[in-house]
């Protein structure tokens, strides 16, 4: 029965709310005392059941919880006929517990989604030399596996035969595929976008890089202890003091009503609602402004953050590579060159090719023949009687294209900006150079300055991209530190070092590879356009992927945390004044005490509601 009642706490809370509404309608509209008292009495009884059970279970393990104080206060209210107080207190207490629990236990879903990204089977080379599909757990270190176009690589290993473009976004978070050839290392969970390769299994199962990501998420989530809220700590001495005070008063005066009055006056009505109302108002403001804050525990931790660590791609940058710089070496024939380039690049599904086609836009389309894709270099084809080569410097060298000193200077300048290079030659002559890179989100620097004004001392970027590109981004945005070539485990270790140094860290990311860091940091912040895994693992979600909302989220967390403390001070202060008034005044009575209690509840509610209109100044 106890288990059944506790499993229906949400339904009991809803019923209590309905009965409270009925009671107040009966009092003020119908002026029917019988219905009023009946509604309040029933609401108090059903609301008391789960609270009393929780108090009993806490006592069994020798824990004096706030449930016990509420239980005794409600019993006292029933004894002296204050059914309204019992109904209101039980509802507020259950509603506060509901608000606290609604967003918990979601992050475990991330583990399931991660594991589903690991291939369940692999093409393994058998003794006769043929490849057969086997269960992934039947693969041993040293086995030779075949990976075809579009398949996920099942192990960490080394390429023995073949080459192709591998999308490593699940590991590094970078959107551009990486050219992999014989001797190069590949990672489990990454996707072979084109080509066919044979891989020697070097690490399998949980030992793979992707397996370590899953393990890191699990460990980080387990290591995040749920800090006890101030109210629970306060109740460790508050509850016994009030109980002892009531007992002492009864023993000295033999006045049971006075003793119960003390317990009722000590009832933490405003204390119970103070934190939840601030929490609800803060969460409501955040939701209105595209920020999801997952509970009051998150708000408290977020308000103390002094270091923010960013992933680069999809976070500081848009995550969609675009042509950023161009150098033209034949302006007289530019339209035709654009048309030739677009015609050739439409033959490729490479992200750089897509960026080039998007940049050129509408152009004349020519038939393309004799297309030849040179893996890791580019593409060569015949267009309108011309030989067109589009690719990197290695392709130009293979095509014996002469690169002038001016062009070499442009190449170096583009690379220093963090660009990926796309060079075009027509009939062996250099015609155009394009620099393609992921664009920094608009107004990011302005938003980062807002974070500094809110007390963030360190702004750090960690990325799987090359160090040069990361340095360019860091310099442009004025970041404290920048580190490139970082795998997920490297990011996690870096965050651990920051935490060991006493820094309170928030991590901002959007990819599966960011999940361990999001879980490990005191506050994980995910962009709403990111993966479901990142969103589930995080504590804060910027729902519209609007980076400008990050500063608002931090400012709101600080304001909400301060508001919670204010409400606690108001609630505790009122209780202390009421208890003191019982002994040191002649005017204090039960009715006056109840009136002051209701006033304190309204005070904390109105104080909390100020957060609904919070704006970052």
148-199 tens-digit pLDDT: 998 999 999 999 999 898 887 666 556 668 889 999 999 888 889 888 999 9
Q: Is the pLDDT of residue 103 over 50?
A: no
Please give the CATH topology (third level) of the domain spanning 292-318+441-555: Rossmann fold (3.40.50)
* Contact partners, residue 429, CB within 8 Å, separation at least 6: 330, 401, 402
Q: What is the pLDDT of residue 533?
A: 60
Regarding predicted confidence, which is higher, 607 or 229?
607
- Give mean pLDDT, residues 77-101: 75
Per-residue model confidence as pLDDT tens digits over 218-259: 554 444 333 335 655 665 676 677 778 878 888 888 876 677
Per-residue model confidence as pLDDT tens digits over 295-320: 667 888 899 999 999 988 777 887 77
Regarding predicted confidence, which is higher, 512 or 439?
439
Q: Is the pLDDT of residue 380 over 90?
A: yes
HSE-CB at 313 with a 13 A cutoff on CA atoms is 29
Calculate what percentage of the chain has a pLDDT beyond 90. 29
- Give mean pLDDT, residues 32-41: 91
Q: Is the pLDDT of residue 97 over 60?
A: yes
* Contact partners, residue 96, CB within 8 Å, separation at least 6: 272, 273, 275, 276
Q: Is the pLDDT of residue 143 over 90?
A: yes
H helices present in 80-116, as ranges = 83-101, 108-116
Q: Is the pLDDT of residue 271 over 60?
A: yes
Q: Is the pLDDT of residue 207 over 60?
A: yes
Q: What is the pLDDT of residue 426?
A: 93
- Give mean pLDDT, residues 584-610: 72
Positive or negative torsion for Cα 37, 42, 43, 45: positive
What number of other Cβ atoms are within 10 A of residue 151's Cβ?
A: 17
Per-residue model confidence as pLDDT tens digits over 497-512: 999 999 999 998 876 6
* Contact partners, residue 78, CB within 8 Å, separation at least 6: 44, 86
**How is residue 126 written in tokens?**
């058998």
Q: What is the pLDDT of residue 333?
A: 82
- Give mean pLDDT, residues 583-610: 72
3-state helix, strand, coil in the chain (%, to 5): 55, 20, 25
For the packed helices 296-303 and 549-584, what is the interaxial angle rounded to 10 degrees? 110
Q: How far apart are CA 497 and CA 311, in angstroms?
A: 17
Cα angle 512, 514, 519 (rounded to 5 degrees) comes to 105
Class of domain 119-153+156-203: mainly beta
Q: What is the pLDDT of residue 140?
A: 93
HSE-CB at 261 with a 13 A cutoff on CA atoms is 20
Q: What is the pLDDT of residue 224?
A: 38
- Give mean pLDDT, residues 134-158: 92
Burial class, 109, CB count within 10 angstroms (exposed 0-12 / middle 13-18 / buried 19+) = middle
Question: Whose CA is closest to 563, among 294, 305, 308, 285?
Answer: 285
Question: Whose CA is closest to 608, among 299, 267, 290, 237?
Answer: 299
Helices (H) and strands (E) counted in the chain, each on its own, are: 23, 20
Per-residue model confidence as pLDDT tens digits over 398-416: 999 999 999 999 988 888 8
Buried b vs exposed e over 487-509: b needs ≥16 C-beta within 10 Å? bbeebbebbbebeeeebbbbbbb
Cβ(356)–Cβ(340) below 8 Å: no
- The question of whether 301 is a catalytic residue gets the answer no
Cα angle 328, 332, 336 (rounded to 5 degrees) comes to 80
Run of H or E residues at 309: strand 307-311
Q: How far apart are CA 516 and CA 488, in angstroms?
A: 7
Cβ(527)–Cβ(314) below 8 Å: yes
Q: Is the pLDDT of residue 573 over 60?
A: yes
Question: Whose CA is closest to 456, among 514, 512, 498, 509?
Answer: 498
Q: What is the pLDDT of residue 174?
A: 60
Confidence of residue 110 (pLDDT cuts 50, 70, 90): very low
**Three-class SS state of 328:** strand
**Three-class SS state of 141:** coil
Q: Are strands 429-440 and 420-426 parallel, antiparallel or unpaired?
A: antiparallel
- Total-model pTM: 0.61
Does the domain at residues 319-439 carry the CATH identifier 3.30.56.10?
Answer: no
Query: 349 phi and psi, to 5 degrees?
Result: -105, 15
Place of tokens 């192709």: 164
Regarding predicted confidence, which is higher, 204 or 208?
204
Q: What is the pLDDT of residue 235?
A: 59
Poorest-pLDDT segment among 40-54, 405-419, 430-444, 536-550: 536-550
Could you say which of 311, 438, 514, 539 is catalytic? 311
The 8-class DSSP code of residue 503 comes to: -
**How is residue 557 written in tokens?**
């967390």
* Contact partners, residue 133, CB within 8 Å, separation at least 6: 121, 122, 123, 124
- Give mean pLDDT, residues 8-15: 90
Q: What is the CA radius of gyration of the chain?
A: 32
The 8-class DSSP code of residue 114 comes to: H
Q: What is the pLDDT of residue 22?
A: 94
Query: What average pLDDT does the structure give for the chain?
Result: 82
Cβ(431)–Cβ(381) below 8 Å: no
């Amino acid at each position: 029965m106890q288990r059944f009642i506790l499993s229906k706490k949400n339904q009991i809370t809803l019923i209590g709310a309905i009965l409270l509404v009925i009671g107040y309608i009966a009092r003020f509209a119908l002026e029917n005392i019988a219905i009023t008292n009946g509604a309040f009495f029933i609401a108090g009884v059903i609301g008391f059941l789960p609270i009393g059970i929780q108090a009993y279970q806490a006592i069994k393990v020798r824990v004096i919880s706030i449930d016990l104080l509420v239980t005794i206060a409600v019993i006292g209210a029933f004894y002296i006929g204050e059914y309204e107080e019992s109904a209101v207190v039980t509802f507020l207490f259950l509603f506060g517990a509901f608000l606290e629990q609604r967003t918990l236990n979601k992050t475990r879903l991330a583990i399931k989604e991660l594991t589903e990204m690991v291939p369940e089977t692999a093409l393994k080379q058998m003794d006769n030399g043929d490849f057969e599909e086997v269960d992934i757990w039947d693969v041993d270190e040293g086995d030779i596996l075949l990976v075809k176009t579009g398949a996920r690589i099942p192990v960490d290993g080394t390429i023995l035969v073949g080459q192709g473009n591998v999308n490593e976004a699940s590991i590094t978070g970078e959107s551009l595929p990486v050219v992999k050839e014989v001797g190069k290392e590949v990672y489990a969970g990454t996707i072979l976008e084109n080509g066919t390769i044979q891989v020697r299994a070097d690490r399998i199962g949980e030992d793979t890089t992707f397996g370590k990501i899953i393990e890191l998420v699990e460990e980080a989530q387990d290591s995040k202890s749920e800090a006890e809220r101030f109210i629970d700590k306060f109740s460790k001495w508050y509850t016994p003091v009030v109980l002892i005070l009531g007992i002492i008063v009864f023993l000295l005066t033999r006045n049971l009503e006075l003793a119960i009055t003390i317990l009722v006056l000590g009832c933490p009505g405003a204390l119970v609602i103070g934190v939840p109302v601030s929490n609800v108002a803060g969460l409501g403001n955040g939701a209105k402004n595209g920020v999801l804050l997952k509970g009051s525990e998150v708000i408290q931790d977020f308000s103390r953050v002094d270091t923010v660590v960013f992933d680069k791609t999809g976070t500081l940058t848009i995550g969609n590579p675009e042509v950023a710089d161009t150098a033209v070496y034949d302006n007289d024939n530019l339209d035709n060159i654009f048309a030739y380039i677009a015609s050739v690049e439409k033959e490729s599904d490479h992200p750089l090719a897509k960026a080039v086609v998007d940049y050129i836009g509408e152009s004349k389309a020519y038939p393309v023949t004799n297309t030849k894709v040179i893996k890791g270099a580019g593409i060569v084809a015949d267009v309108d009687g011309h030989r067109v080569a589009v690719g990197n410097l290695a392709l130009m060298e293979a095509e014996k294209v002469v690169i002038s000193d001016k062009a070499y200077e442009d190449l170096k300048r583009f690379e220093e900006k963090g660009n990926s290079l796309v060079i075009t030659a027509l009939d062996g002559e250099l015609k155009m150079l394009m620099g393609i890179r992921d664009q920094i989100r608009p107004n990011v620097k302005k938003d980062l300055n807002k974070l500094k004004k809110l007390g963030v001392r360190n702004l750090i970027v960690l990325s799987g991209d090359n160090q040069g590109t990361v340095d360019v981004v860091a310099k442009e945005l004025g970041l404290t530190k920048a580190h490139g070539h970082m795998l997920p485990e490297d990011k996690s270790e870096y965050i651990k070092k920051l935490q060991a140094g006493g820094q309170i860290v928030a991590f901002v990311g959007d990819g599966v590879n960011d999940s361990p860091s999001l879980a490990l940091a005191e506050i994980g912040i995910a962009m709403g356009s990111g993966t479901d895994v990142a969103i589930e693992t995080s504590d804060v979600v910027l729902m519209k992927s609007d980076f400008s909302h990050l500063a608002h989220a931090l400012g709101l967390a600080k304001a909400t945390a301060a508001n919670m403390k204010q409400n606690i001070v108001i609630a505790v202060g009122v209780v202390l004044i009421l208890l003191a008034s019982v002994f040191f005044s002649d005017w204090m009575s039960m009715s006056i005490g109840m009136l002051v209690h209701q006033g304190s509840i309204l005070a904390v509610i109105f104080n909390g509601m100020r957060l609904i209109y919070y704006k970052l100044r």
